[in-house]
Amino acid sequence: MTAISTQDTTPEKLQGVDLFWLGHAAFRLTSPEDKIVYIDPWLENPKSPLQVDQVAGADVIILTHGHFDHVGNTVEIAGKTGATVICPVEVGHYLTAQGLSGDQVVGMNIGGTVRQAGMEFTMVFAAHSSGITGEDGVIPGGNPAGMVITFENGFTVYHTGDTDFFGDMQYIREFHEPDLMLLCIGDHFTMGPRKAAKSIETVRPSYALPMHYGTFPLLTGTPGDLLENLSKEYRERVIVAEPGAPVQ
């Protein structure tokens, strides 16, 4: 896999952030200070190389919205590791109703920043929905979101959450200048490859890693389709990962 950067991303800034794609929209990131962050940890997805009983530790869990394929195994992982869960406010209420401590769940909203475990987490807009499927049917899950993570060394990761392309991605570029963009490409429930390509060209990350594709037959977008819609400059920034293979 190849990637080039036209931003001011020094070798020192790039060192020390390890990433594993766990299939679908789930990721495990390890910070330069060895803090472990899970994003949308649905580890029962058919592409995940990691099962819940194999999770050894976690410091922070990020949830972008309330759908089952993003909340996933949060309650189990947080319960066994003591990780702090950062999520939309309404999703936080749901999690505490499922047994997590109120002190363990940090509910926030779009535009806010939370500082936890030496990192900063800023919630940004996503164009999607967020209903939570519970015992009584679907309950409101508040607003869907993306998340910008700033690690201890300044390296910045933007996880789009489930979203369509939206013009205000330009302000995510302006305010956060992401080094790495994790973006959905699968189509049907999110933007497909063509709009994902436009998202990359708008945010202009140093690197982009496609996600949320290939999990179900409905998610027809592929990295190849994404690359076909990008100019050479941006094509060379794309990292195509395999679930479980480390990306550094």
**pTM of the prediction?**
0.94
Cα dihedral 231, 237, 238, 244, rounded to 10, equals 170
Residue pair 83/181 in contact (Cβ under 8 Å)? The answer is no
Domains (range + CATH), the chain: 16-241 (3.60.15.10)
Q: Greatest CA span in the chain, whole angstroms?
A: 51
Within 13 A of 162's CA, how many CA atoms are on the CB side? 26
Phi, psi of 176 (to 5 degrees): -120, -20
C-alpha to C-alpha distance for 161 and 17, rounded to whole angstroms:
20
With a CB cutoff of 8 Å and minimum separation 6, the contacts of 125 are 110, 145, 146, 166, 168
Burial class (CB in 10 A: 0-12, 13-18, 19+), 137: exposed
Per-residue pLDDT 10s for the chain (248 aa) are 333 333 444 555 556 799 999 999 999 999 999 999 999 999 999 999 999 999 999 999 999 999 999 999 999 999 999 999 999 999 999 999 999 999 999 999 999 999 999 999 999 999 999 999 988 889 999 999 999 999 999 999 999 999 999 999 999 999 999 999 999 999 999 999 999 999 999 999 999 999 999 999 999 999 999 999 999 999 999 999 999 999 97
Phi, psi of 45 (to 5 degrees): -70, 150
